[in-house]
Amino acid sequence: MPQSIETFYEVMRRQGITRRSFLKYCSLTAAALGLGPAFAPRIAHAMETKERTPVIWVHGLECTCCSESFIRSAHPLVKDVVLSMISLDYDDTLMAAAGHHAEAALEETIQKYKGKYILAVEGNPPLNEDGMFCIVGGKPFLDQLKHAAKDAAAVIAWGSCASWGCVQAARPNPTQAVPIHKVITDKPIIKVPGCPPIAEVMTGVITYMLTFGRLPELDRQGRPKMFYSQRIHDKCYRRPHFDAGQFVEQWDDESARKGYCLYKVGCKGPTTYNACSTVRWNEGTSFPIQAGHGCIGCSEDGFWDKGSFYDRLSNIPQFGIEKNADEIGMAVAGGVGAAVAAHAAVSAIKRAQHKGDQE
């Protein structure tokens, strides 16, 4: 059932938030945006009137999978996000206007909401050929990106392209595509990696910021801890089979039909930080491992250049067991693989200790 447009204040009141809490929230928002306490009343005023947070969504070298994922969001529904939560003032994938009318919409938002809008970046800028491997409005995308970033309150790096570089930055990276933190160095950047990120993770990050008025807590690499602090392996429904030493040895074997662990056919779940095994995909329908294919590690930095997706994570010098995201964040998957091998060994020992419990 369609709802009427509500201001943020109305939404919060409906959810039982008091006037007092609302004003506190506005102060926090001001602080989060680096605006100082004097701005809190202005934010309160904006929230009480009909201002939705303006979002500018730009596209560099990418495949649009992040936009596609975004519109899959089930809670909240993307129509509610776009009609009631944010004002998507520029997004060349969905906006009605084109050409100079589109560019004018971008400019109006930047001028009118200086320091107040969120810049969402899908894809990344190529640096080779003076940036002309990606042209917007006759100019390098890099120019548009820097221009839009200059007055943004915060920047969201959607997906692995903006966060890490992703496929066009895989070796030998012919266009010299770079993640956006290489060219935007003076703004907070929230990385939401994945190829693409999960829809509800994307809208979850946005609604968190709008609801709590602050950036989500980030890990050392700039990812929201609420979605990226655990490995897929940690919460995988097939994990008991890993611990029990029950593995798929070949595609479509008996073990595959029983839903055993995919570690031996290359699953990167043990080294991949993402919410696939908890939030799952497409309204919680399933996720890659549940559908029988190993995780390819698409939310990890440089996952394209870490060997075949079907290579087992093994034979790597030992790294450690059960490290968290911050501790191993910068390590390559190969290094992390060692942890898995060691982890498998430990699990095997534990299994030996409890022999007879299962199988």
**Which residues have C-beta within 8 Å of that of residue 197, sequence separation ≥ 6?**
66, 69, 158, 159, 299
**Which residues have C-beta within 8 Å of that of residue 13, sequence separation ≥ 6?**
19, 22
Q: What is the C-alpha separation between 50 and 52, in angstroms, rounded?
A: 6
Q: What is the C-alpha separation between 174 and 65, in angstroms, rounded?
A: 21
Q: What is the C-alpha separation between 45 and 55, in angstroms, rounded?
A: 19
Nearer to other proteins, 27 or 333 (CB): 333
Q: What is the C-alpha separation between 356 and 268, in angstroms, rounded?
A: 29
Q: How far is the CB of 11 from other proteins (least distance, A)?
A: 13
Give the CA distances from residue 141 to residues 18, 36, 60, 333, in Å, rounded to whole numbers and listed in that order.
Answer: 44, 32, 6, 31
Q: How far is the CB of 4 from other proteins (least distance, A)?
A: 5
Q: What is the C-alpha separation between 232 and 230, in angstroms, rounded?
A: 6
Q: What single DSSP character describes residue 36?
A: -
Nearer to other proteins, 188 or 246 (CB): 246
Q: What is the C-alpha separation between 141 and 150, in angstroms, rounded?
A: 14
Helices (H), 49-98: 65-70, 78-80
Nearer to other proteins, 189 or 262 (CB): 262
Q: Could you tell me if 289 and 182 are in contact, meaning their C-beta atoms sit under 8 angstroms apart?
A: no
Residue 125's φ and ψ, nearest 5 degrees, are: -90, 135
Q: Which residue has the tokens 């809670």?
A: 75
Nearer to other proteins, 165 or 213 (CB): 165
In Å, the largest CA–CA distance within the chain is 72
Q: How far is the CB of 26 from other proteins (least distance, A)?
A: 19
Q: How far is the CB of 183 from other proteins (least distance, A)?
A: 15
Q: How far is the CB of 351 from other proteins (least distance, A)?
A: 18
Q: How far is the CB of 261 from other proteins (least distance, A)?
A: 11
Q: How far is the CB of 36 from other proteins (least distance, A)?
A: 25
CA-wise closest residue to 313 among 358, 257, 247, 256: 247
Nearer to other proteins, 25 or 133 (CB): 133
Nearer to other proteins, 30 or 262 (CB): 262
> 341 forms bridges with which residues in the sheet?
none
Tokens of 195: 């190829």
Q: How far is the CB of 329 from other proteins (least distance, A)?
A: 18
Nearer to other proteins, 27 or 125 (CB): 125
Nearer to other proteins, 27 or 243 (CB): 243
